[in-house]
Structure 1
Amino acid sequence: MSIFFATAFVAASKAFSFRSSRTSSSRLYFSVSKVSAPPRYSEKDVQLMKNILYRVRAVNQMPEEVRSRLIEFHIDGVCVGKVDPFIAQLVCSADTVFTKNQDNILTLTADAGTTFASRTQAVARVMEKLRDDGIVQGWRNEDYPVSTGFYDETYFVIERAAAAFLGILEYGVHINGLVRSDDGSQPRMWIGRRSPTKSKYPGMLDHIVAGGQPAGLSLMENVVKECVEEAGIPEHLTLAGVRPAGAISYETYSTKHKAVSRVVLFNYDLYLPADFVPKPVDGEVDEFFLWTIDQVLESMDPNYPDPIKPNCYSVIIDYLLREGHISPEVPGYLDVLKELRSGDCR
């Protein structure tokens, strides 16, 4: 009996092996057929992806030849900034606060002291001189922390307008203001127009709310504050409708100012009631518009006559990716993802 079953098992195994081989071949053929199928996107999709890449790369402006010649700025032996050689020479000659060591690293001298307060005062003295000389412009009287990362020790604080001259990490909060549609279709997005008196990007379109992350405030405290100040959004509406949605990072070099912007933006999605209309409060925004997602996508065309502020596009594009408004089938999708976090995100 055992010999019979053994013989039957061998025969069955050969038959199964033969059928399995045929099945595998047909599956392989089917897979090749699927790969050679027509692409699941249109020429319009391809052009949109090119537009999106154009917008994201507009803030990622750090040529390798520039990066390679930047001088590191160190505090207590750790790097907190990256400085153009021209600016390094300026700050060294402006006072006795900065110096370059034998390794060509920018540091603070003994005159700056070793405490938070003494360093803050010493660096402020230098930056005020550069402001008076017309080099640092758009002074805001707003302090930015100087550290090796968002969650790390703050060595001193520096005027926001001067931060990029020492190439320190700068942080901000950007809010996508959204309104859900009653019919379940795509949400709409609130867009603001910056005041014509703003020192940077006057009159350009912007987020409903956005702001730098100053020293002394938590991220959510800053979100609530900016929502009240810029768009008149009551605290209870902000807390009820907002949720953190990740972060983006980028690096930009200004040839004109020899400044190095190393930026991390914390993104938030804020869903507002359909009957709520934001209003300008502090004079930073002139007016607000409620756009469809299609209008937002249309504005990404490089030739669009009234574009949104460059770094806002990156935050908006991150939202569009998360919500599936941009298809991963289209070539360039992964390039966009890489560009959105190309900076030093820490």
Structure 2
Amino acid sequence: MPSDDTPFLRHLRQCNTAVVPGNRFAFSLGGQPAGWIDPAIADRLEQEGLGSRTEGFALANPADLETLGEKLAQEGFYRSHHELFDVRLDVGQPAIARIDRGALPLFGLVAIGVHMNGLVRKQNGLYLWTGRRARNKRLDPGKLDHLVAGGVPAGHSPSEALLKEAAEEASIAPEIAAQAQEVSRIVYALNRPEGLRRDILYCYDLFLPEDFTPEAADGEVESFSLIKLEEAFELVRETDEFKFNVNLVLIDLFLRHRLINPTSPEGQALQRGLAYGLSPASPGKALSLEPV
């Protein structure tokens, strides 16, 4: 196994900092393990009669989660995004509840997002469209980002969310965005100031014509740039210019295009870590609900 400080594995380690349960408390929905309660809301949930720090917390009716999330937002425990996300127990499971996306980390619930590599083939090689995040974004303002990326709202499939984000973020027509191909799924579990992020990223490639120019429609992107894939490779290897999880999607892209040798020890470790998570205590347990 490569050392911990290899240029690309460092990004996986930075996105897999959570050790479950750590200082969190088990949370179940409808009698099934669902997440991990952040200490910031533990006392409040005890007051609500939903459990204790010693026994864990539970909500018998998953449909009540949305109302609970609204109450916590009104009381200032988190800042509402005014956007509901579906709650799933794990990868590939159906939705059993809904809650504002801002509350997901407080409950340690799985969240799903979409990321799209906007690619252009030219005579001198492959190019990648990048976006510069607006300076007023809550998360990683001013960082480099994908051409299209975002969370999957409640009631949407990942492919539906991709079409929505493509139109809003880069003014890509639905008939063009629909040509995007799902290429991989990436998981990680990350400690953030807002809580525990247990994310699944659905990753897509879309090859765009040379004369395509993206236009920001929703104000979330400051500017767009078209750069050679090798330049993106250098930025990921040498810097932290890209938003934290964008690095993971680009590493997957580099592996598929063999800028990173997928059969090398580092390449194999990267592929395992992208697919299963890379917990500091127990690799492969990033999204697990079992204590490590």
Q: TM (normalized to structure 2)? A: 0.87
Aligned to 1:35: none
AA in 2 matched with 1:272: L
Residue 176 of structure 2 corresponds to residue 237 of structure 1: yes
Distance between the aligned counterparts of 1:345 and 1:293, measured in 2?
Answer: 34
Aligned equivalent of 2:59: 108
**What is the Cα deviation at residue 235 of structure 1?**
0.9
Aligned to 1:41: none
Aligned partner (choices 146, 171, 187) of residue 126 of structure 2: 187
Aligned twin of 2:189: 251
**2:267 partner amino acid:** Y
Equivalent of 1:99, from 51, 60, 67? 51
* 1:339 corresponds to which of 254, 265, 273: 273
Aligned length: 278
Match of 2:151 among 212, 225, 230: 212
Q: How far 1:325 sits from its partner (Å)?
A: 1.8
Could you tell me how far apart the structure 1 residues matched to 2:62 and 2:188 are? 30
CA contact 2:148–2:169 (8 Å) conserved in 1: yes
- Structure 2 counterpart of 1:276, which letter? F
Pair 1:51-2:2 in alignment: no
2: CA distance between counterparts of 1:310 and 1:173? 14
1:155 aligned residue: 96
Between structures 1 and 2, the one with greater helix share = 1
Q: In 2, distance between residues paired with 1:251 and 1:57? A: 10
Gaps of 5+ in 2: 278-285
Greater strand proportion: 2
- The reply on whether 1:269 has 2:208 as its aligned counterpart is no
Q: 2:58 & 2:262 partners in 1: Cα distance?
A: 45
Deviation at 1:150, TM superposition (A): 4.8
What does residue 68 of structure 2 align with?
122
Report the CA distance shift for 1:119/1:54 in structure 2 as closer, same or farther (over 3 A).
closer
Measured against aligned partners, the alpha-carbon deviations of 1:28-78 in whole angstroms (never above 9, x if no partner) come to xxxxxxxxxxxxxxxxxx99x92111222221112x4x6344321001221
Q: CA deviation at 1:239?
A: 1.7
Mapped pair 1:317 → 2:251: yes
Larger relative contact order (Cα-Cα within 8 Å, sequence gap ≥ 6): 2
Alpha-carbon separation, structure 2, partners of 1:265 and 1:249 = 6
**One-letter amino acid of the structure 2 residue matched with residue 253 of structure 1:** N
Residue 164 (structure 1) aligns with:
105
On the 8 A contact 1:195/1:202 being kept in 2, the answer is: yes
Q: What amino acid maps onto 2:70 in structure 1?
A: A
1:71 aligned partner: 25
Runs of 5+ unmatched residues, structure 1 = 1-45
Q: Distance in 1 between matches of 2:40 and 2:147?
A: 37
- 8 Å contact from structure 1 (residues 196, 202) kept in 2: yes
Alpha-carbon shift at residue 105 of structure 1 (Å): 1.8
